[in-house]
Amino acid sequence: MHTLTAHGATIPAIGLGTWMLTGEAATTSVAAAIQAGYRHIDTAIGYGNETEVGEGLRQSGVGRDEIFVTSKIPPDQLGADEMLRAAEGSLERLGIDQLDLLLIHWPSQTLSAAETIRSLNRVKQRGLTKHIGVSNYTIRLLDEAWAATEEPIVANQCEHHPYLNQDKLRAATDKHGMIFVAYSPLGQAGVLDEPEIKDIAGRFGRTPAQIVLRWQLQKGFVAIPRSTHPARIRQNLDVEGFDLSAADIAAIDELRSVGTRICDYDISPEWD
Ligand code: A2P
């Protein structure tokens, strides 16, 4: 699996998303994914599954150093002291000494992006995480955070799939030399029945999910698909060894006219 590099962080292009995976399913999915070759696991304090994800890391039998582990600080723990405690709790639950990447899960509604990123800088400087990043940040929030940070902000994790045009945000992450990590990269499976995608899948002898993930990779995104099925977990990693044509990519791009944003809540910022 190829990797993307930004500001000294090297991130495997496909990771396992664990949102909504809880209990035993979180452990078995993480262990199965790593055994299948995944080297990037994405969790969050807010998912309530870090203990189980940590168990999966250990059950996989693969060394900690070989796996890129991301977690995220929830919006109600973004004060300087709270953030530090939250990060310590995350490490304790995961059973690891240091995260590879720690993200601000959602922008704060009360603290500025400048204040928040400075607190995250402290967490990194104390050694709790190798790299820092953000999630659900808009162009304005990225600019504000970059203006205030001492440490590079290596990634912005946001929703991205064929039904959602993120060109403007992608240009902003590129401008800052950051990696755009696509969550809900399959549109939570909603795009997999699109005739256009099925046609391309048929031509390549691949599944629709593989086509969408290949589209993500060729466009330069890191993608973190989630599945509870071992066969699909394996399939979602097996997206090397073929290339979509420019016409195929353009055909999938056209689905953006649907304009679906799945993850939009009261706490969401004003999207670009
Ligand atoms: P399941 O867990 O039953 O496999 P996203 O990553 O965009 O959030 O999408 C997750 C959804 O897509 C889940 O409902 C998951 O269901 C489904 N999914 C993940 N991988 C595949 C695949 N290879 N084929 C079909 N559905 C998939």
Query: How would you write the pLDDT of the chain (272 residues) with one tens digit per residue?
Result: 899 999 999 999 999 999 999 999 999 999 999 999 999 999 999 999 999 999 999 999 999 999 999 999 999 999 999 999 999 999 999 999 999 999 999 999 999 999 999 999 999 999 999 999 999 999 999 999 999 999 999 999 999 999 999 999 999 999 999 999 999 999 999 999 999 999 999 999 999 999 999 999 999 999 999 998 999 999 999 999 999 999 999 999 999 999 999 999 999 999 99
> Is any ligand 1 atom within 6 A of the Cβ of residue 184?
yes
Set out the domains of the chain in order of their start, with CATH numbers.
3-258 (3.20.20.100)
Strand order in the sheet with 179-183: 16-17, 40-42, 68-73, 99-104, 129-135, 153-159, 179-183, 222-223
The overall pTM is greater than 0.85: yes
The residue to mutate among 19, 41, 212, 229, having the most atoms of ligand 1 within 8 angstroms of its beta carbon, is 229
Of ligand 1's listed atoms, the one at least distance from the Cα of 17 is 6
Residue 202's SS3 state is: helix
The residue to mutate among 206, 227, 238, having the most atoms of ligand 1 within 8 angstroms of its beta carbon, is 227
Distance of CA 169 to the CA centre of its chain: 15
Of ligand 1's listed atoms, the one at least distance from the Cα of 185 is 7
Residue 270's SS3 state is: coil
Residues labelled as active-site residues: 47
> Is any ligand 1 atom within 6 A of the Cβ of residue 210?
no
Residue 159's SS3 state is: strand
User: Residue for token digits 């995480």?
Assistant: 129
